[in-house]
């Protein structure tokens, strides 16, 4: 049995979304953030010592880190539907964007949020430089999505579950204005039935 440990307003939304895209059965265990600090509650450390979200359990195996979890579920349970195989033309691009999402995009986005003071405290003197780098990334992604509808190619893959998350947040921050291809991509993401249902479950 698959268990998804879900922390409110966090990356574990992706796991619920992916499970729905794949038609996987799962048990959901919810955690609320500490109201004072907005951090994960201490009980999450009983699931995994790092106490971060997302975490899944599949049988007696516990797995952390969004990219690894998404790759694991899509490869093990997707029967090739959302995970291109090495012989497929879109395989290399699939892997690139699946890993870019946390390794680069989320890293820049979170840094921009912290440095700008959006999450509390004063803006840091490095904030304009961080913001410039993140906006340049969004420009690059806009150019990529000008050539194809989904990150790997013509079909929606698990790489879009990874990349969709930071781009929906960027849209909510008003950072997609003038970046019409990314904006249209986010519209395609948020109109997917599995995405809509995942949001309902994650926020419920």
Interface residues with ligand GSH (CB under 6 A) are: 7, 10-11, 39-40, 52-54, 65-66, 102
Alpha helices in the chain (DSSP H): 13-22, 66-77, 91-100, 107-115, 127-145, 158-172, 180-190, 193-203
Look at strands 27-31 and 55-58 and give their pairing.
unpaired
Question: Quick one: 98 or 141, whose CB is closer to ligand GSH?
Answer: 98
Question: Quick one: 134 or 153, whose CB is closer to ligand GSH?
Answer: 134
Least Å from the CB of residue 166 to ligand GSH: 10
Least Å from the CB of residue 88 to ligand GSH: 25
Q: Is the distance from CB of 26 to CB of 50 less than 8 angstroms?
A: no
Least Å from the CB of residue 37 to ligand GSH: 8
Q: How far from 33 is each of 39, 84, 103, CA to CA, in Å? A: 5, 35, 24
Least Å from the CB of residue 178 to ligand GSH: 27
Contacts of 94 (CB under 8 A, 6+ apart): 83, 84, 88, 151, 152, 153, 157, 158, 159
Question: Quick one: 40 or 74, whose CB is closer to ligand GSH?
Answer: 40
Q: Is the distance from CB of 202 to CB of 5 less than 8 angstroms?
A: no
Question: Quick one: 66 or 108, whose CB is closer to ligand GSH?
Answer: 66
Question: Quick one: 33 or 131, whose CB is closer to ligand GSH?
Answer: 33
Least Å from the CB of residue 149 to ligand GSH: 25
């Amino acid at each position: 049995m698959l268990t998804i440990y879900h922390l409110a307003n966090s990356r574990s939304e992706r796991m619920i979304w992916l499970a729905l895209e794949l038609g996987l059965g799962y048990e959901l265990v919810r955690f609320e953030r500490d109201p004072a600090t907005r951090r994960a509650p201490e009980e999450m450390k009983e699931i995994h010592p790092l106490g971060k979200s997302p975490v899944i359990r599949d049988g007696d195996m516990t797995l952390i880190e969004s990219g690894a979890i998404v790759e694991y579920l899509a490869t093990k349970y997707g029967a090739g539907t959302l995970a291109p195989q090495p012989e497929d033309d879109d395989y290399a691009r699939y892997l690139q964007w699946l890993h870019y999402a946390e390794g680069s995009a989320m890293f820049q986005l979170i840094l921009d949020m912290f440095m700008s003071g959006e999450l509390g405290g004063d803006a840091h003197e490095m904030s304009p430089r961080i913001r410039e780098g993140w906006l340049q990334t969004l420009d690059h992604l806009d150019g990529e999505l000008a050539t194809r509808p989904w990150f790997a190619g013509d079909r929606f893959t698990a790489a879009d579950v990874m990349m969709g998350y930071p781009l929906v947040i960027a849209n909510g921050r008003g950072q997609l204005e003038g970046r019409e291809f990314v904006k249209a991509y986010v519209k395609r993401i948020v109109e997917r039935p599995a995405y809509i249902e995942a949001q309902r479950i994650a926020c419920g």
